[in-house]
Chains A and B, each alone.
Chain A
Amino acid sequence: MREITVRDAIREAVMEEMQRSPGMIVMGEDIMPGAFGVHAGLGEMFPGRFLETPISEAAIVGTALGAAMTGGPVIAEIMYSDFLAVCMDEIVNQAAKIRYMTGGQARVPLVIRSPIGMTRGVAAQHSQSLEAWFAHIPGLRVAMPSTPADAKGLLKTALRGEDPVLFFEQKLLYGEKGPVPDGADHLVQLGTAHVAREGEDVTVVATGLMVSKALEAAVELQRSGISIEVVDPRTVSPIDFDTIYGSVDKTARLLVITEATLACSVASEIAASVAEHRFNSLDGPVRRLGSPFVPKPSTPTLEKLAYPGTDDILRIVREMVPRRTR
């Protein structure tokens, strides 16, 4: 299979869905070439359909919502997901609830694409992983692809659906390459997890950038005879609990990893659900790993303490697996 980057996979998804739906538009700040260069080359192909906006996030998401309710699909691109804080009403009180409040009259083919998470030294207002805010709101869907194939397939599905989707792209993943199926109909359903690596001893659930950290740890752990199963939920609303439960039934141990601040995170939700529904399958306490409860510092020496890393995964997994099974 051909290998392309996450950036190119997203560009393909946008291009193919623009071709498929003549009413589709994309709007945002510096939209050409778009945040992290995702739209490079698409402007000429679709004249008048990439709309350059002022720095007006509330109006961007609000008009994208109105356009989605009366047409669409619409992509609203928000340059850094931290800036979603300035358009929360449009997302949380409007887009999320309009279908329900109107007794099912509204359809909302709206995708809010936004880069998320860590990158070098950009400090507290450009590094956050805020997916839990949105996973907490009924009516929203939240996707967090970790591979090019999932980025493409999930985005296409999101654009063909009628629910508002927050689509979070980890910044350090844009340049990562991976196999992506040919053809314009590669779709990945929201709410379907992917087992990124099979294993026996511990189930490790991870999203976004943390999937690659878990896979790195898996290789290292294998050397000492520990086999972990890495499950990537791919969307954090909805969450594919069946796949997670199935894996825990097999391994009897669970570690959930998130790049976000651990408190009240999606990892906490997954851990709680497993504890509640799979208590009898578990051989030990559910473990969680996430960012400490601090804003992101700028200086490199503190920055590395403010995110979970592969070493933390190794340490926790080794604590979880009793010596005799090694």
Chain B
Amino acid sequence: MSNDLPKETLVGFWRDMHRIRAFERSAAYQSTLGKIYGALHSYEGQEACAVGVCAALQAGDYVASTHRGHGHSLAKGARMDRMMAELFGREDGYCRGKGGSLHIADFGCGMLGANGIVGAGYAIAAGAALTAKQSGSGRVAVCFFGDGAVTRGTFHEVMNMASLWKLPLLMVCENNGYAQYVSTTETMVFRSVADLAANYAVPGVHVDGNDIRGVFQATVAAVARARAGEGPTLLELRTERFNGHSSGDPQFYRSKAEVQELRRSRDPILRLEGELAGAGLLDDRDAILAAVEAEVTAAVAFADAAPYPAAEAVTQDVYA
């Protein structure tokens, strides 16, 4: 194994990916118990994308997310207990239970929101990048989006504008090969999202999204470019969606064998774990797993104990 990054960084990656997976599995289970009211879009399989990208960011940097946003929130610094409380629809959730999974946001850590509208994050992230640029704050903004979202017109509008204005923006495509129940090879003529960048005079970078080192390093370079005032970068992270599109998707469009093979050969957590263990760097394994488990258990207990919002809340926060 190449000892490219310090041990603490790599072990931290492994732990943070685990946190996301443990959260997703717990949420899926709580959903089957009827504790979570709306649908969930699981991030399992894509953990290296959120963790690798967010590890290269500072606390003040911004992230705009998607319908599949739990991983982005956790990686950017949101607390697990308040996230679980949001999924449970409770007052102590990040959005007072009003947003649920689809709209989780924690502005305190720069997470500007999951989104129910595919492709809505581009321009919001570009706007955050614009503030950063105008104010000279040195912050950057990241827009996460799926491969399916590239066919929204706003992608092209924002790529042009962000390049024109040299905005400190990272456009991060998590290409998991699917948009809901359809393979995106059936809905897009271009085989590479990153290659589109050239049309907008922006660097486009292909990365294996399940190789967390690669994700991290590509993001570090893009962030440096953005902070230096050189403008946006388009990163395409090739990754995998281990579960259905959302809870309750029976996945008729792909075989069980395909999913099993992905889980076996493309798991970003197992991949890093194998490398770390091989190099003898994972001596704390059991302690880390126990700590993550304890955090999840505490998050569920917190959510369970939190009250539902009072009736008055329904009319609050419509306006300032």
**CB closest chain-B residue, reference A295:** B318
| A305, CB-defined interface residue at 8 Å | yes
Over the window 103-147 of chain B, the binary record of Cβ atoms lying under 8 Å from chain A Cβ atoms (1 yes, 0 no) is 100000000000111110000000000000000000000000000
Q: Which of A45-93 contact B (CB under 8 A)?
A: 52-59, 82-83, 85-86
One of B102, B186, B311 near A123 (C-beta < 8 A):
B102
- Residue from the set B98, B101, B308 with the largest chain A CB neighbour count within 10 Å: B98
One of B98, B100, B151, B186 near A55 (C-beta < 8 A):
B151
Residues of B within 8 A of A55 (CB): 118-119, 148-149, 151-152, 179, 187
Q: How far is the CA of A299 from the CA of B308 in the complex (A)?
A: 8
B314 touching A52 by the CB < 8 A rule? no
Q: How far is the CA of A59 from the CA of B115 in the complex (A)?
A: 21
**CB closest chain-B residue, reference A297:** B98
Known contacts A55-B179, A120-B38: does B314 contact A302 (CB below 8 Å)?
A: yes
B152 touching A29 by the CB < 8 A rule? no
**CB closest chain-B residue, reference A53:** B187
For the side of the interface on B, what is the size category? Answer: 35 or more
Q: Which of B63-94 contact A (CB under 8 A)?
A: 89-90
| B37, CB-defined interface residue at 8 Å | yes
Over the window 164-176 of chain B, the binary record of Cβ atoms lying under 8 Å from chain A Cβ atoms (1 yes, 0 no) is 0000000000000
Known contacts A55-B118, A124-B116, A125-B116: does B309 contact A299 (CB below 8 Å)?
A: yes
Q: How far is the CA of A292 from the CA of B117 in the complex (A)?
A: 23
Chain A interface residue count, Cβ-Cβ cutoff 8 angstroms? 34
Over the window 181-210 of chain A, the binary record of Cβ atoms lying under 8 Å from chain B Cβ atoms (1 yes, 0 no) is 000000000000000000000000000000
Query: Would you call the interface of chain A mostly helix, strand, loop, or mixed?
Result: loop
One of B98, B115, B186, B187 near A298 (C-beta < 8 A):
B98
A56 touching B97 by the CB < 8 A rule? no
B151 touching A52 by the CB < 8 A rule? no
A123 touching B99 by the CB < 8 A rule? yes
How many A-B residue pairs have C-beta atoms within 8 angstroms? Tell me.
117
Residues of A within 8 A of B179 (CB): 29, 54-55
| B39, CB-defined interface residue at 8 Å | yes
Q: How far is the CA of A295 from the CA of B95 in the complex (A)?
A: 13
Known contacts A56-B153, A301-B308, A301-B309: does B314 contact A306 (CB below 8 Å)?
A: yes
The distance from the CB of A33 to the nearest CB of chain B, in whole angstroms, is 9
A58 touching B38 by the CB < 8 A rule? no
A121 touching B315 by the CB < 8 A rule? no
The distance from the CB of A120 to the nearest CB of chain B, in whole angstroms, is 6
The distance from the CB of A24 to the nearest CB of chain B, in whole angstroms, is 22
| B270, CB-defined interface residue at 8 Å | no
**CB closest chain-A residue, reference B153:** A58
Q: How far is the CA of A86 from the CA of B155 in the complex (A)?
A: 13
Residues of A within 8 A of B313 (CB): 297, 302
Residues of A within 8 A of B119 (CB): 55, 86
One of A59, A83, A301, A303 near B153 (C-beta < 8 A):
A59
Q: How far is the CA of A29 from the CA of B184 in the complex (A)?
A: 11
A30 touching B180 by the CB < 8 A rule? yes
B37 touching A299 by the CB < 8 A rule? yes
Q: How far is the CA of A125 from the CA of B101 in the complex (A)?
A: 12
**CB closest chain-A residue, reference B154:** A86
Known contacts A55-B187, A124-B116, A299-B90: does B37 contact A30 (CB below 8 Å)?
A: no
| A126, CB-defined interface residue at 8 Å | yes
| B181, CB-defined interface residue at 8 Å | yes
| A175, CB-defined interface residue at 8 Å | no
Q: How far is the CA of A295 from the CA of B316 in the complex (A)?
A: 10
- Residue from the set B117, B188, B311 with the largest chain A CB neighbour count within 10 Å: B117
Over the window 284-323 of chain A, the binary record of Cβ atoms lying under 8 Å from chain B Cβ atoms (1 yes, 0 no) is 0000000011110111111101100000000000000000
Residues of B within 8 A of A53 (CB): 187
**CB closest chain-A residue, reference B87:** A298
| A272, CB-defined interface residue at 8 Å | no
Known contacts A298-B99, A299-B308, A301-B308: does B38 contact A121 (CB below 8 Å)?
A: yes
One of B151, B309, B318 near A294 (C-beta < 8 A):
B318
- Residue from the set A83, A123, A293 with the largest chain B CB neighbour count within 10 Å: A123
Known contacts A121-B100, A297-B98, A305-B311: does B151 contact A86 (CB below 8 Å)?
A: no
Residues of B within 8 A of A293 (CB): 315, 318
A297 touching B314 by the CB < 8 A rule? yes
A305 touching B152 by the CB < 8 A rule? no
Q: How far is the CA of A57 from the CA of B98 in the complex (A)?
A: 27
B314 touching A54 by the CB < 8 A rule? no
| B182, CB-defined interface residue at 8 Å | yes
Q: How far is the CA of A160 from the CA of B151 in the complex (A)?
A: 32
Q: How far is the CA of A85 from the CA of B188 in the complex (A)?
A: 23
- Residue from the set B100, B149, B188 with the largest chain A CB neighbour count within 10 Å: B100
B37 touching A298 by the CB < 8 A rule? yes
The distance from the CB of A122 to the nearest CB of chain B, in whole angstroms, is 6
A selection of 16 A-B contacts at a CB cut-off of 8 Å is: A29-B180, A54-B148, A54-B187, A56-B151, A82-B117, A85-B117, A86-B117, A122-B39, A123-B116, A124-B103, A126-B102, A126-B116, A298-B37, A298-B102, A298-B103, A299-B308
